[in-house]
Chains A and B, each alone.
Chain A
């Protein structure tokens, strides 16, 4: 079964290219959200397998959103993504209920599956 994902990022350019890559890699793009509010709503209705959440979601705090998604009724699994190094953000990420962290340029369906403890679909 294909993994469905919700892409949460304030950059439209990233949402487009990430959707293209991940769907090319066999994932289902359940939806894209540009804000935390949108993300929570879509996660509740679309029930994706995973939400990819940008740590710096514009002026919003992606880490805070990750916690909200994880604690929501849908208990959405979250993978934090950022343009920055993990090391740079480790202090912020520490303690987060997110399943993992991926640098945006290293985005990859198999990595996502791995972080979620699933076998890659293809």
Chain B
């Protein structure tokens, strides 16, 4: 080898080495850019620039293949801008097509050999392969004569790989960002849902977020009514451009994505609207919309509606857009379900609140238990939208008493069977129970008021009773839960009634026990001491008859007899104050007439007592008149007093009115206050009217126990009658 050749060889080697070093440096620079997550555009630009310097004078171009098979030059100088390169564009497109077709490197020579074309330029292209698909191509285009270096492809491939790397990195980042975006959006909506936002607010948020995530302008939230077959637009993000305004309606056949969803129940995608008939699709096209995706909103297993997103006419919605949309629909469904539950709860709470206030008012007004329990039944009927409601109390003997009922409740045999069964079950388990006529086996039960649901009323930790809902038809689902809720709330009122009843009952017991003690003492005195003193007197007189005694002794015994008489009189007075014996033997009429006769102030007595009330009530009435007459005698300075007493099936009324000085009051010290206790213990009322100078009137009302007219269910027998107490043998 000559020194010149050697020099040339050295120079070539040096060139080649330099080029290789330059190339390596260029690739390293690009790789650094990619590693720094530079924007893909910048990376591709850098690749083109670096390659241009290394391949100069050839021009480098980077192209991306589009869906329609065309290619877009993303970076690099367009070859046709260079002088004398008029044909290079043709070369470039031929090479691009060849690369796209084969997925391998291509150069002009090969291409032009088949396509009759010659030109001064030439081009070499290598594919940029991303995810095993030919994403684009990197080209070296020569504007002057001469083919590119033989190893041009191999060198370009390195840059193409870097480009592919950059693109695929960017795509991965994009995908990641999309997922993160979606999660953020979903979280925003989920927060709204969790905060209990109104469904409309959630709908709007969902539409806006979905539009953002899918990067489309048009997202619609649509409700479907299966009964009418109509869709209703709830909200759309695209305002004026929407083919249907908010709240607007259109039919199934005019909503292709809705029809598809109704048919499949799955997310759907419509890429081509050109052949879809109907005015909505026509508007869609006219308004410049393109591809659409939609996903169903499923509520309680039923398609409630859907969300649809539409791209612009020239936009491609990324694959999986419909699935991302579906992620939102779950949130929408949750929001709607929550709102429904909340609305139900609110309306239940509101109606129950009002119901409770009304019941509590009755309790506060000291209404009779039957009034309160009938009201509870009526309120339960209203709150639960059921017609027949019974309020049942469990008795200690194992039976149950219907203490309240709705007006419509009729204790027919069938109703009683269902009612008894469910009431039994509640007592056994202490929790809500349901009995359906159909499961009972008795067809008569199913025929009339077949279903019964009952929930326990817990008072002081025990099952006090139950509220029973009866219906001829199956009761709607959720009735049991709502009845349980209602019963919980109303239990406090019933607890109050129960406590008041207990108090009244205990006062009544005290009064009755007192009466009983006095009656017993009176009886003991009558049968014991009194008889013995009488016998003593008779014996003494018998002795005086049998033996003639000295006068002095006779006189002395006269004194003893007199003392005995005095003793007897004292005992009589004492025992008369203890208990009105005549009352228990003769009733109010005779005993009051006896009272009237003993009164120092003349009494006009009017007693209308057809039947004898229960003893405690009779005694109370007697004592009130007795005490009132005593007061008249002591304080009234009256010239006359009128006593009127009437007894009917519902109550005993009594009034004592004098024409005295008035001004009497129910003071602690007065004997009247004890009467108030006695009267109230019997659920009665006592009123005192005593204006100064205009006499005094004391009047009482003592109700006869409502359970006096109790009706009992005979085993296997039917019961007539309505709302009175009813006992059920369990």
In the complex, which residues of chain A have a beta carbon less than 8 angstroms from the beta carbon of B532?
13
Does any Cβ of A come within 8 Å of B572's Cβ? yes
Residues of B541-570 at the interface with A, using a CB-CB cut-off of 8 Å, are: 541-542, 545-546, 564-565, 568
In the complex, which residues of chain B have a beta carbon less than 8 angstroms from the beta carbon of A87?
594, 597-598
Alpha-carbon distance between A13 and B526 when the two chains are bound, in angstroms: 13
Alpha-carbon distance between A31 and B527 when the two chains are bound, in angstroms: 21
Alpha-carbon distance between A92 and B589 when the two chains are bound, in angstroms: 10
In the complex, which residues of chain B have a beta carbon less than 8 angstroms from the beta carbon of A45?
none
* Known A83-B530, A92-B582, A105-B568: A16·B535 in contact at CB below 8 Å: yes
Residues of A15-59 at the interface with B, using a CB-CB cut-off of 8 Å, are: 16-18, 20-21, 24-25, 56
Q: Tell me if A91 and B534 are in contact (CB < 8 A).
A: no
Partner of B534, one of A24, A88, A90, A104: A104
Q: Which of A20, A92, A104, A105 has the most CB of B within 10 A?
A: A105
* Known A18-B538, A61-B585: A13·B531 in contact at CB below 8 Å: yes
Residues of B510-529 at the interface with A, using a CB-CB cut-off of 8 Å, are: 526-527
Contact with B along A72-99 (1 / 0, CB 8 A): 0000000000011101111110000000
Q: Tell me if B531 and A91 are in contact (CB < 8 A).
A: no
In the complex, which residues of chain A have a beta carbon less than 8 angstroms from the beta carbon of B585?
56, 61, 92
Q: Tell me if B582 and A11 are in contact (CB < 8 A).
A: no
Q: Tell me if A91 and B594 are in contact (CB < 8 A).
A: yes
Q: Tell me if B594 and A17 are in contact (CB < 8 A).
A: no
Interface size of B as a range:
20 to 34
Partner of A90, one of B537, B542, B594: B594
Residue of A nearest to B580 (CB): A88
Residue of B nearest to A20 (CB): B542
Q: Tell me if B538 and A17 are in contact (CB < 8 A).
A: yes
Q: Tell me if A91 and B537 are in contact (CB < 8 A).
A: no
Alpha-carbon distance between A67 and B512 when the two chains are bound, in angstroms: 34
Alpha-carbon distance between A73 and B104 when the two chains are bound, in angstroms: 145
In the complex, which residues of chain B have a beta carbon less than 8 angstroms from the beta carbon of A18?
538
In the complex, which residues of chain B have a beta carbon less than 8 angstroms from the beta carbon of A91?
582, 586, 589-591, 593-594
In the complex, which residues of chain B have a beta carbon less than 8 angstroms from the beta carbon of A88?
576, 582, 594
Does any Cβ of A come within 8 Å of B102's Cβ? no
Alpha-carbon distance between A39 and B329 when the two chains are bound, in angstroms: 99
Residue of A nearest to B564 (CB): A105
Q: Tell me if B593 and A20 are in contact (CB < 8 A).
A: no
In the complex, which residues of chain A have a beta carbon less than 8 angstroms from the beta carbon of B526?
56, 83
Q: Tell me if B531 and A21 are in contact (CB < 8 A).
A: no
B363 to chain A, nearest CB (A): 43
In the complex, which residues of chain A have a beta carbon less than 8 angstroms from the beta carbon of B591?
91
Residue of B nearest to A10 (CB): B527
Residue of B nearest to A109 (CB): B545
* Known A14-B534, A24-B545: A92·B539 in contact at CB below 8 Å: no
Does any Cβ of B come within 8 Å of A111's Cβ? no
Does any Cβ of B come within 8 Å of A107's Cβ? yes
In the complex, which residues of chain B have a beta carbon less than 8 angstroms from the beta carbon of A16?
535
Residues of B194-228 at the interface with A, using a CB-CB cut-off of 8 Å, are: none
Q: Tell me if B531 and A11 are in contact (CB < 8 A).
A: yes
Residues of A106-121 at the interface with B, using a CB-CB cut-off of 8 Å, are: 107
Alpha-carbon distance between A61 and B582 when the two chains are bound, in angstroms: 12
Q: Tell me if B531 and A24 are in contact (CB < 8 A).
A: no
Alpha-carbon distance between A61 and B585 when the two chains are bound, in angstroms: 8
Alpha-carbon distance between A13 and B527 when the two chains are bound, in angstroms: 10
Alpha-carbon distance between A17 and B594 when the two chains are bound, in angstroms: 30
Alpha-carbon distance between A17 and B531 when the two chains are bound, in angstroms: 10
Alpha-carbon distance between A2 and B537 when the two chains are bound, in angstroms: 24
* Known A83-B531, A88-B576, A105-B537: A21·B586 in contact at CB below 8 Å: no
* Known A24-B546, A91-B594: A17·B535 in contact at CB below 8 Å: yes
Q: Tell me if A89 and B582 are in contact (CB < 8 A).
A: yes
Q: Tell me if B572 and A11 are in contact (CB < 8 A).
A: no
In the complex, which residues of chain B have a beta carbon less than 8 angstroms from the beta carbon of A90?
594, 597
Partner of A24, one of B542, B572, B586: B542
Q: Which of B535, B538, B541, B597 has the most CB of A within 10 A?
A: B538
Alpha-carbon distance between A56 and B539 when the two chains are bound, in angstroms: 21
* Known A83-B526, A105-B565: A17·B539 in contact at CB below 8 Å: yes
In the complex, which residues of chain B have a beta carbon less than 8 angstroms from the beta carbon of A20?
538-539, 542
In the complex, which residues of chain A have a beta carbon less than 8 angstroms from the beta carbon of B542?
17, 20-21, 24
Residue of B nearest to A84 (CB): B572
B125 to chain A, nearest CB (A): 130
Residue of A nearest to B538 (CB): A17
Alpha-carbon distance between A89 and B586 when the two chains are bound, in angstroms: 9
Alpha-carbon distance between A91 and B598 when the two chains are bound, in angstroms: 12
In the complex, which residues of chain B have a beta carbon less than 8 angstroms from the beta carbon of A13?
531-532, 535
In the complex, which residues of chain B have a beta carbon less than 8 angstroms from the beta carbon of A14?
531, 534-535, 538
B607 to chain A, nearest CB (A): 11
A25 to chain B, nearest CB (A): 6
Contact with A along B328-356 (1 / 0, CB 8 A): 00000000000000000000000000000
Write 23 A-B pairs (CB below 8 A) sorted by A numbering. Answer: A11-B535, A13-B531, A14-B531, A14-B535, A14-B538, A16-B535, A17-B536, A17-B542, A18-B538, A21-B538, A21-B539, A21-B545, A56-B526, A83-B534, A85-B572, A87-B597, A87-B598, A89-B582, A90-B594, A91-B586, A91-B590, A92-B590, A104-B538
List 6 A-B pairs, minimum CB-CB distance, nearest first.
A91-B590, A24-B545, A21-B542, A17-B535, A17-B538, A20-B542
B binding-site residues for A, Cβ under 8 Å = 526-527, 530-539, 541-542, 545-546, 564-565, 568, 572, 576, 581-582, 585-586, 589-591, 593-594, 597-598
A binding-site residues for B, Cβ under 8 Å = 11, 13-14, 16-18, 20-21, 24-25, 56, 61, 83-85, 87-92, 104-105, 107
Given contacts A24-B542, A56-B526, A83-B534, list 17 more A-B pairs with CB under 8 A.
A14-B534, A17-B534, A17-B542, A20-B542, A21-B539, A21-B541, A83-B531, A84-B576, A85-B572, A87-B598, A88-B576, A88-B594, A91-B589, A91-B591, A92-B582, A92-B590, A105-B534
